[in-house]
């Protein structure tokens, strides 16, 4: 599969105004499995970003702006078809960039990346608007109705953990609503975004509708994009700190913002739970994708009567996780995204140990005796014994780790779970129906799961509260963000 990686050893270019262009500055795209250089990436400068924004603005009133909704939706279906036609290339590129397993890239990331275009292309055709009959003094009345218009030029800034899936999760509804887009993938994972630009070109997407710029945040493509006066809206998934910086940059232009940011998600496990389901679900919610999913659980609260049993069971399951090569079918978990991120994760582990944590398992870097030792691997890790104000309990790590603490009462569990500056997701494990509803509704989060994790209906609202985000994505919630309703009043 790695031999199928597109542009291996070459240069990943920007896609601006319908053309692929390089630049003077190139940076290395590193494989986190063995530290090798996959290819090099052309960093977009301020001039390149400016050309992209101007092309996107022109496209709003050009061929794209004149297309009917039906014509736009047919084109988005072609994009999905073209991704699937190059499926193996997308899978290989995603694996090379992230080090994630063949199973995950093949069964989750790339299929969802294609499906997002179909989902929103179909959903926009049923987007509703309001209509009111308004009485007037002369008795003739008036009609007030709303029409949905595109916001304009949208900057889509995507993260590195689910590169294609989360890029298209924003891109598809933005295009379905009639906007034009400048996309900036993470500098860590530029490959599938570049392939997507090739797909857009192949299917005949009108010039300027989709633009791609590579680079970093400050003093690079990210900052040039978010501060550009020609950008009408910014949608971003990533760290809360970065979201705050983007919000400040976008303030002068009063741009529309949609942020899905960090999380320090809690799981509450009551003693009346289905024990095996709770253990299995917690293994998934803590260690999936090396803990590098915004919805992963980093804090577990377990009722005291089953605390020791649960910790022992989770330890066995964590130690059974196979950390390996992405192409090995037995691999359960790959590396974290980079050596820099691995160092950050390990620094949290060292902080936890210094604060007196009990290391149940893991806590370091695995050794393989082969080229994986040059990669960015981290052991699946479980801590106990820390107070609620410990650094690793309060701050997002974004790695394969959790801290487990006991609780006695339902009220105590709810209070500890909600004692966070973040509020993205929570899990509740109980067979008591009344408790399930009661506790789930008390969670200060955007998504609360009961007896499951990561079960998503893409029509439902998705987002966070507190430091975890602004706004909601999913279904009509995405379309409503990317649309600007205009009220029309007609006197009868």
> In this structure, how many other beta carbons lie within 10 angstroms of the beta carbon of residue 107?
12
Whole-number CA gyration radius for the chain: 24
CB 45 within 8 A of CB 25: yes
Q: What is the pLDDT of residues 244-290, one digit of tens each?
A: 999 998 888 899 999 999 999 999 999 999 999 999 999 999 999 99
Quick one: pLDDT at residue 3? 60
Q: Give the DSSP H or E segment for 57.
A: helix 46-61
Q: What is the pLDDT of residues 196-222, one digit of tens each?
A: 999 999 999 999 999 999 999 999 999
Q: Is domain 265-457 given the CATH code 3.40.309.10 in the classification?
A: yes
**What are residue 14's phi and psi, to 5 degrees?**
-75, 155
Confidence of residue 127 (pLDDT cuts 50, 70, 90): confident
Instruction: Specify the pairing of strand 297-303 against strand 265-269.
Output: parallel
Mean pLDDT confidence for 290-296: 97
Q: What is the pLDDT of residues 348-396, one digit of tens each?
A: 999 999 999 999 999 999 999 999 999 999 999 999 999 999 999 999 9
Q: What is the pLDDT of residues 143-184, one digit of tens each?
A: 999 999 999 999 999 999 999 999 999 999 999 999 999 999
Q: Which CATH superfamily is domain 2-261+468-491 in?
A: Aldehyde Dehydrogenase; Chain A, domain 1 (3.40.605.10)
Q: What is the pLDDT of residues 221-242, one digit of tens each?
A: 999 999 999 999 999 999 999 9
Domain boundaries, the chain: 2-261+468-491, 265-457
Confidence of residue 2 (pLDDT cuts 50, 70, 90): low
Active centre residues (catalytic): 260, 294
Q: What is the pLDDT of residues 6-37, one digit of tens each?
A: 999 999 999 999 999 998 899 999 999 999 99
Residues 225, 293, 468, CA angle at the centre, nearest 5°? Answer: 60
Quick one: pLDDT at residue 251? 86
What is the widest separation between alpha-carbon atoms in the chain?
A: 87
Q: What is the pLDDT of residues 455-465, one digit of tens each?
A: 999 999 999 99
- Percent of the chain residues topping a pLDDT of 90: 96
């Amino acid at each position: 599969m790695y031999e199928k990686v597109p542009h291996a050893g070459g240069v990943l270019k920007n896609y601006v105004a319908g053309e692929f262009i390089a630049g003077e500055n190139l940076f290395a795209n590193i494989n986190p499995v063995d530290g090798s250089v996959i290819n090099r990436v052309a960093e977009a400068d301020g001039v390149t970003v400016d050309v992209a924004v101007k092309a996107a603005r022109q496209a709003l009133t050009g061929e794209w702006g004149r297309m009917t909704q039906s014509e736009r939706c047919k084109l988005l279906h072609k994009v999905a078809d073209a991704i699937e036609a190059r499926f193996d290339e997308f899978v290989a590129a995603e694996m090379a960039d992230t080090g994630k397993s063949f199973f995950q890239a093949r069964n989750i990331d790339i299929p969802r990346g294609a499906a997002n275009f179909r989902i929103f292309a179909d959903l926009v055709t049923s987007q509703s608007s309001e209509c009111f009959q308004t009485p007037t003094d002369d008795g003739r009345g008036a009609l007030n109705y709303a029409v949905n218009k595109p916001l304009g030029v949208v900057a889509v800034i995507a993260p590195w953990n689910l590169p294609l899936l989360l890029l298209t999760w924003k891109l598809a509804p933005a295009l379905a609503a009639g906007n034009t887009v400048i996309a900036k993938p993470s500098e860590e994972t530029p490959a599938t975004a570049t392939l997507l630009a090739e797909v857009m070109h192949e299917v005949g997407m009108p010039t300027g509708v989709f633009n791609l710029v590579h680079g970093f945040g400050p003093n690079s493509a990210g900052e040039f994009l978010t501060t550009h006066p020609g950008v009408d809206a910014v949608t971003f998934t990533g760290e809360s700190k970065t979201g705050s910086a983007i919000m400040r940059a976008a303030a002068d232009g009063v741009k529309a913002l949609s942020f899905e940011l960090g999380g320090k998600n809690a799981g509450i496990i009551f003693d009346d739970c289905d024990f095996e389901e709770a253990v299995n679900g917690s293994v998934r919610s803590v260690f999936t994708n090396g803990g590098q999913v915004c919805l992963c659980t980093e804090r577990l609260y377990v009722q005291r009567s089953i605390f020791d049993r649960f910790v022992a069971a989770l330890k066995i399951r964590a130690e059974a996780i196979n950390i390996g090569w992405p192409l090995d079918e037995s691999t359960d978990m790959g590396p974290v995204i980079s050596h820099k991120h691995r160092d950050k994760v390990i620094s949290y582990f060292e902080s936890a140990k210094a604060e007196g944590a009990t290391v149940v398992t893991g806590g370091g870097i695995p050794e393989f005796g082969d080229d994986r030792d040059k990669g960015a691997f981290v052991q699946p890790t479980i801590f106990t014994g820390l107070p609620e104000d410990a650094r690793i309990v309060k701050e997002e790590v974004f790695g394969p780790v959790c801290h487990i603490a006991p609780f006695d009462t339902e009220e105590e569990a709810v209070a500890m779970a909600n004692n966070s500056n973040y509020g993205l997701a929570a899990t509740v494990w109980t067979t008591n129906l009344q408790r399930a509803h009661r506790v789930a509704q008390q969670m200060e989060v955007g998504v609360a799961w009961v007896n499951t994790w990561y079960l998503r209906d893409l029509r439902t609202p998705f987002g966070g509260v507190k430091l975890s985000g602004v706004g909601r994505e999913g279904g009509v919630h995405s379309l409503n963000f990317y649309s600007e309703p205009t009220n029309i009043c007609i006197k009868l």
